[in-house]
Amino acid sequence: MAKIEPMSLLVFSHANSFGASTYRVMIEELRRLGHTVEALDQFGHNPKYPVTNNWPHVVEELREFVTAVKVKHQQTPILIGHSLGGAASLMLASQSPELARGLIMMESFVFYGWKALFIRFAKLLGKTMKRPPASVALRRRFTWDSALQVTQHLQHKRAFKHWDERVLRDYAEHGTIETADGKRTLKFKRETEAKFYAYFPDNAMAMLRKNPLQCPFHFVGGLQSRELAAVGLGGTEKLVAARAGNTLQRVEGTHLFPMERPIETAQMIDALVERINTVK
């Protein structure tokens, strides 16, 4: 199969509670490798696009951003997303295939079968905001005396202890903002983070049955991901099986492997983009 000239325009979408600035090391490596990367800084914080059940306004926010990127560069981008960002990118690629030349999802969940039904009923009963992970997000510490204190507080916590030190520093400096009294507070609001968890889409598979993906699809999960183990890969495996050349792979790391191994993650993305560029 002949390789076409690369069109390496990438739109990256971040995970819940971690804005695009947290991924600076990975994004800069992708740019060093020759890709043009565009990323929306934070989903869910523009009042025009509130976080509601199944995230329709979040997908609309991404649609508006990707449309502008496509017009700006006169190219159709490859969508890349981590967790929240991958789920939103999946729904956008399903609904608006003209905006996605390929899709790479990292640690993004596709609820399928009884698990999707369970989430749906939990929402109807008003339980999702009162239970983890939403309830945990609402109790999350959100103020510190300095960016250094943010780093010191987080570096030994389970979710952060394997992070690349450069990524942790970026999160401490750019994932927090200075308050009027000189302290640091989380830039990504706890209430918004909780809503993303509580209203996570349960309708993705139904949407994909109606509007199947028309672009190449690649999924990457962390071998030590507790979250992926809990949700399962049933829905993801169906997406992979839907088209020849789609792939599912596992790499070293937890749910947050892009923060733990940002350079390796960029190189992995580069290889997957190469595969997408060879599809006729």
Residue 133 dihedral angles phi and psi, to the nearest 5°: -85, -10
Q: What is the mean pLDDT of residues 98-116?
A: 95
Q: How large is the average pLDDT for residues 34-60?
A: 98
The runs of H, that is alpha helices, within 39-161 are 56-73, 84-95, 114-124, 134-138, 147-154
Report d(CA 186, CA 142) in Å as an integer. 5
- C-alpha 36/C-alpha 32 separation (Å) is 9
The mean pLDDT of 145-165, rounded to a whole number, is 95
Cβ neighbour number for residue 46 with a 10 Å cutoff: 13
- Per-residue pLDDT at 1: 37
d(CA 56, CA 192): 15
Residue 280 above 90 pLDDT?
Answer: no
- Between the alpha carbon of residue 198 and those of residues 92, 138, 193, 194, the distances in Å are 20, 11, 9, 6
Domains and CATH numbers, the chain: 9-277 (3.40.50.1820)
10 pLDDT higher than 70: yes
Residue partners of 87: CB distance under 8 A and separation at least 6: 55, 81, 105, 108, 109, 110, 200, 201, 204
Element housing 13 (H / E): strand 9-13
Q: List, for residues 191-219, the tens digit of each pLDDT value.
A: 999 999 999 999 999 999 999 999 999 99
- In this prediction, residues 1-13 reach a mean pLDDT of 67
7 has a pLDDT exceeding 80: no
| Average pLDDT of the residues in 19-46 | 97
Residues 6 or more apart whose CB falls under 8 angstroms from that of 206 comprise none
For 162, residues 6+ apart whose C-beta sits below 8 A from its C-beta are 253, 254, 260
Of 99, 70, 78, nearest in space to 30 by CA:
78
**What is the phi/psi pair of residue 177, to 5°?**
-130, 155
pLDDT tens, 222-244?
A: 999 999 999 999 999 999 999 99
Taking 90 as the threshold, does the pLDDT of residue 6 lie above it? no
pTM for the model stands at 0.95
Measured CA to CA, the distance from residue 208 to residue 242 in angstroms comes to 11
Give residue 56's pLDDT: 98
**Residue 147 burial (10 A CB sphere; 0-12, 13-18, 19+):** middle
Tokens coding 55 = 């995230």
pLDDT tens-digit series, residues 51-86:
999 999 999 999 999 999 999 999 999 999 999 999
Query: What pLDDT is recorded for position 2?
Result: 37
Please give the pLDDT value at position 279: 85
Cβ distance 233 to 115 under 8 Å?
Answer: no
Q: What is the mean pLDDT of the chain?
A: 95
